[in-house]
Amino acid sequence: MTAHVVGGLVALVAAVVALSAQKGGTLHRGSGLVFVVAMVVMAATGAALAAFSRNASPWSPGG
């Protein structure tokens, strides 16, 4: 869960930097790459949390 939260925070910061930097510049591309990696971390950890969660959810298959 910590990796998921940290990934989200990193993605938020990287998005702000990417959106405020000049398009195509080194800072824009670097922070964009950090954003993509952070989103992949969030997706992977979110999927793992959902798969291994012991809490029943009304949205999960089988209830």
Q: Per residue in 10-55, pLDDT tens? A: 999 999 999 999 999 999 999 999 999 999 999 999 999 888 877 6
Which pTM value belongs to this model? 0.80
Q: Tell me which residue of 58, 42, 55 sits closest to 8, measured CA to CA.
A: 42
* Distance (Å, whole) CA 11 – CA 42: 9
pLDDT at 5 > cutoff 90? yes
- Say if residues 54 and 24 touch (Cβ distance below 8 Å): no
Beta-carbon contacts of residue 22 (< 8 Å; ≥ 6 apart): 28
What is the structure's pLDDT at 50? 82
